Amino acid sequence: MSNEETHFFRAVLLAWHAGHRRPLPWKGERDPYRVWLSEIILQQTRVEQGLPYYERLIAAYPTVEHLARAPLDDVLKHWEGLGYYSRARNLHAAARHIAFERSGVFPNTFEEIRALKGVGDYTAAAIASFAFDLPHAVLDGNVYRVLARFLGIETPVNTPEAHKRFSALAQQLLDPTHPGAYNQAIMDFGAQHCRPRQPLCHQCPLAVHCVAFQQGRVADLPRKNPPAPRQQRFFLYAVFQKGHSVWMQQRPGGDIWANLYEFALWETNALPQEPARIAPQVAARFFSDTSKIAFHGVFGPYRQTLSHRVVHALFYVFEVPADVDVPQPERSLEQPSAAAGWTSMDKVEKNLALPRIVAQFWREKILSCRQNEMLHL
Q: Which residues are catalytic?
A: 39
Which CB, 201 or 324, lies closer to ligand SF4?
201
| SS3 of residue 300 by DSSP | strand
Pairwise CA distance, residues 235 & 264, whole Å:
10
How near is the Cβ of 77 to ligand SF4 at its closest, in Å?
41
For ligand SF4, the binding residue among 26, 36, 110, 213 (CB under 6 A) is 213
Which CB, 97 or 217, lies closer to ligand SF4?
217
Pairwise CA distance, residues 332 & 324, whole Å:
19
Which CB, 187 or 282, lies closer to ligand SF4?
187
For ligand SF4, the binding residue among 58, 218, 265, 317 (CB under 6 A) is 218
Which CB, 8 or 234, lies closer to ligand SF4?
8
Pairing of strands 231-242, 309-319: parallel
**Nearest partner of 81 among 360, 311, 346, 314, judged by Cα:** 360
Query: What is the pattern of x (binds ligand SF4, CB under 6 A) and - over residues 135-174?
Result: -----------x--xx------------------------
222 lies in the binding site for ligand SF4 (CB under 6 A):
no
339 lies in the binding site for ligand SF4 (CB under 6 A):
no
113 lies in the binding site for ligand SF4 (CB under 6 A):
no
Pairwise CA distance, residues 150 & 10, whole Å:
12
How near is the Cβ of 185 to ligand SF4 at its closest, in Å?
13
194 lies in the binding site for ligand SF4 (CB under 6 A):
yes
Q: Could you tell me if 354 and 302 are in contact, meaning their C-beta atoms sit under 8 angstroms apart?
A: no
Q: In degrees, to the nearest 5, what angle opens at C-alpha 159 toward C-alphas 158 and 161?
A: 140
How near is the Cβ of 2 to ligand SF4 at its closest, in Å?
17
Please enumerate in sequence order all residues whose Cβ is within 8 A of that of 261, keeping only pairs 6 or more positions apart, or say none. Answer: 248, 249, 250, 251, 348, 352, 353, 354, 358
**Nearest partner of 150 among 140, 142, 159, 158, judged by Cα:** 142
206 lies in the binding site for ligand SF4 (CB under 6 A):
yes
Q: Could you tell me if 156 and 223 are in contact, meaning their C-beta atoms sit under 8 angstroms apart?
A: yes
For ligand SF4, the binding residue among 11, 18, 168, 200 (CB under 6 A) is 200
Which CB, 47 or 207, lies closer to ligand SF4?
207
How near is the Cβ of 1 to ligand SF4 at its closest, in Å?
14
How near is the Cβ of 209 to ligand SF4 at its closest, in Å?
9
How near is the Cβ of 193 to ligand SF4 at its closest, in Å?
6
185 lies in the binding site for ligand SF4 (CB under 6 A):
no
Between the alpha carbon of residue 197 and those of residues 6, 24, 153, 175, 221, the distances in Å are: 26, 23, 18, 27, 11
Q: At what angle do helices 86-96 and 72-79 cross, to 10 degrees?
A: 140
Total residues interacting with ligand SF4, rule: CB under 6 A: 15
| SS3 of residue 142 by DSSP | helix
Both ends of the chain: CA-CA distance in Å?
A: 71
How near is the Cβ of 146 to ligand SF4 at its closest, in Å?
6
Supply φ then ψ for residue 92, to 5 degrees. -65, -45
314 lies in the binding site for ligand SF4 (CB under 6 A):
no
212 lies in the binding site for ligand SF4 (CB under 6 A):
yes
Query: What stretches of the chain adopt beta strand conformation (E)?
Result: 231-242, 245-250, 261-262, 264-268, 294-305, 309-319, 340-344
Which CB, 76 or 212, lies closer to ligand SF4?
212
Q: Which residues are at the interface with ligand SF4 (CB under 6 A)? A: 146, 149-150, 193-194, 199-201, 204, 206-207, 210, 212-213, 218
